[in-house]
A and B are shown apart, each in its own frame.
Chain A
Amino acid sequence: MSDQQTAGQRPDEAQDDRQDGAAAAVGKFLEFTDGAVASYFESCVHCGECAEACHFYLSTGDPRYTPTYKLLPMVKAYRRARAPLRTVRDMFGLLPDDPTLDELREWGPLVYDSCTMCGRCTLVCPMGIDIAGTIARMREGYVAAGLAPEGLVHATEMVRRTTSPMGVTAKALRAQVEHQEKETGIPISLDEKGAEYMAILSSMEIMGYPEVIGAYARLFKAADISWTISTKAYEATNIGVQIGSGALAREIVQRVVDAAEELGVRHVISPECGHAYGALRWAGPNLIGRRYDFEVVHIIELIDRLRREGRLPIGNRDARRITLHDPCQIVRRGGLLKEPRRLLDAAASDFVEMDNAGIANLCCGGGGGVSANPRAAELQSRAFSCKLDQLNAIEGLQAVVVPCANCRSVFEDALDEREIDNFEIIGLGELVASTLDQDKAAQG
């Protein structure tokens, strides 16, 4: 019995399942191939420069991790069924076969384990191909065929049960909020109707870095803005975007939209979490089919805005030698390039940029669902070596600002694994909150 054949199935039934799975994947590949994706497939000249931008290739030297190669099954489906002039190619027997389920399964590690959808390959591509965005669409096919990695499937099940991929319940949120109220001495409202801002957080922040909530309390008290957290929609993580399930991504966005509109807030704050920003700010309206009645503002954008308005007076700047990691979905694919730098210039007296800082910065290796995929653990750790090289190149480095909870967790795990403890990993909001001039803030 083949490994694809389940117990009690006749061989012909197993064969049918394989064909159905492959057909489902191909159907999604074609559904998600619009003029943009088609132009990417048509213009790639197989120069391979994208490999030189990919941390998975750079850290392993394995040509299979060449970004454009990861798209091959989707390219084949396109050429066979959608490409202009395909009938002429067919006359010469030049059309490729549709990808089989076995081929798709073989490609799984390239689509999920070795792509964080960081988009760095686009920068080096002479054709400007958005490979990361195309991988995101390709994953829809993988989900349809039931080929998504187990770790991500488990996370989606957890989201369906608890709304959080880590199983964080509203009760756990309340406990963390109460703890932060005690820590800061500042009351934090939950489910407050009429608040101006509604904050959402990633599970990792709630459970791993709850001090983020305290930082919000200090910053927003200083700026004198009203804010709240909804116990119905506190989770920012959008596992649907990571695994490639538009339906689940829509459900998660809709939950936030419903809560925000029920509370009547004017702004929803996207947290220091890369893909959550892209999911809510850029994909969200397209997923639910309409614009929101509120503005989505990233926490970095908001803090920067408040500081420039003079509502967040900075006191003593952090004197440590600090550098900034650029989370891919916030900076390169999110457009927030200047904001974190303005904040660091204001809050740190020895802020130094790492090599390739800004739009060309290297990914941590754990984005795009890779860190939730145990199958990819070893590869992720190797990819982090590229990031570590950037950090090690900075003499006397004492702290790294990592404004993404997922990146931060990847950093901490990778540094622990390597027993490196000579610099601290911190969030940007916490850094700014810790440098607030409390006297001026109190005077308003």
Chain B
Amino acid sequence: MSFLQIVEGPLFWVAAAVFVLGALWRVGGLIAMKRRRDIAPPTGSAAAGFIRGNLRHFLPRAAFARRTWIHLVGGYGFHLGLFVLLLFAAPHVAFLDKRILGFSWPALPRWAFILVAEIAFAGLIILWVRRISEPVMRLISDADDHVGSWLTFLVMLSGCFALQQSHDALRATHMFLVDIWLLYFPFSRLMHAFTFVLSRGHTGATYGRRGITP
């Protein structure tokens, strides 16, 4: 069995299983902790607040947009770019079709892939440079923040190298890094990809009962 076969085969499936089970365990653990019961008579709905809280924090409030525009540009550039690449890069569509789902959808043309990849890279680099240069972010960042950023960067970079699918070594490198990323994900702060729903939701529910969405 070649290295490529290992990283696309057994190692990928192990990594994917750790990713899924780990993420479920962690999110399930948070849900199992439950929230403190609130018996104060409400003026609004906690459930509606949960949803409103989740939606409201996708967009910045005008009062802060001027001060946080770098994060907005970098954050949305990186995240949107990453999701588009993940779901619409031609090799990903083919991989999901053949190995997992059994159906496919239209993939990005090459020019669009390059454009989106550039946006995603620029966003990630902006966020990381800010993390190492801005005094607040330097103070509060820890190793997990840097490892998560670098792993994601390397996955994206190797993915670009492997785009043509012409060299097995490049494809294997990309898949190996993907496997590492999947293994690291559930134990790291990358889990914010799932936990944000809970944190926004809890705050939204708490204050939703008070008729306001902070």
Contacts and interface: CB of A to CB of B under 8 A. Distances in A.
Interface of A: 33-36, 38-40, 42-49, 51-53, 57, 63-64, 66, 68-69, 82-85, 88-89, 119, 122-130, 133, 281-286, 289-291, 295, 332-335, 337, 355-356, 359-360
B101 interface: no
Contacts, number: 181
B31 A291 contact: no
25 contacts: A34-B34, A35-B34, A43-B192, A43-B195, A44-B192, A45-B189, A46-B141, A47-B137, A52-B68, A66-B139, A83-B29, A84-B26, A123-B63, A123-B64, A123-B214, A124-B61, A124-B64, A128-B54, A128-B199, A291-B41, A333-B214, A335-B210, A335-B212, A356-B63, A360-B63
A206 to B, nearest CB: 26
B207 interface: yes
A38 B210 contact: no
A84 B198 contact: no
Contacts of A53: 64
B40 A43 contact: no
Nearest to A281: B40
Q: Which 10 A-B pairs have the closest CB atoms?
A: A84-B29, A128-B200, A35-B33, A36-B202, A39-B198, A335-B210, A48-B136, A43-B199, A43-B195, A360-B63
Contacts of A360: 61, 63-64
A85 B25 contact: yes
B203 A130 contact: yes
Contacts of B32: 35
Interface in B131-153: 131, 134-142, 145
Nearest to B137: A48
Interface residues of B, number: 62
B33 A38 contact: yes
Given A123-B61, A128-B200, A128-B203, A34 B195 contact: no
B35 interface: yes
Interface in B2-60: 22, 25-26, 28-41, 43-44, 53-54, 56-57, 60
B91 interface: no
B72 to A, nearest CB: 9
Given A35-B32, A51-B136, A291-B39, A337 B212 contact: yes
A63 B25 contact: no
Contact of A130 (B37, B198, B206): B206
A42 B40 contact: no
A286 B37 contact: yes
B26 A42 contact: yes
Given A35-B32, A334-B210, 15 more contacts: A35-B30, A38-B33, A40-B199, A42-B199, A43-B199, A63-B136, A63-B140, A83-B29, A88-B187, A126-B75, A282-B40, A282-B210, A291-B39, A335-B207, A359-B214
Contacts of B29: 38, 83-85
Contacts of B75: 47, 126
Contact of B135 (A63, A89, A283): A63
A127 B57 contact: yes
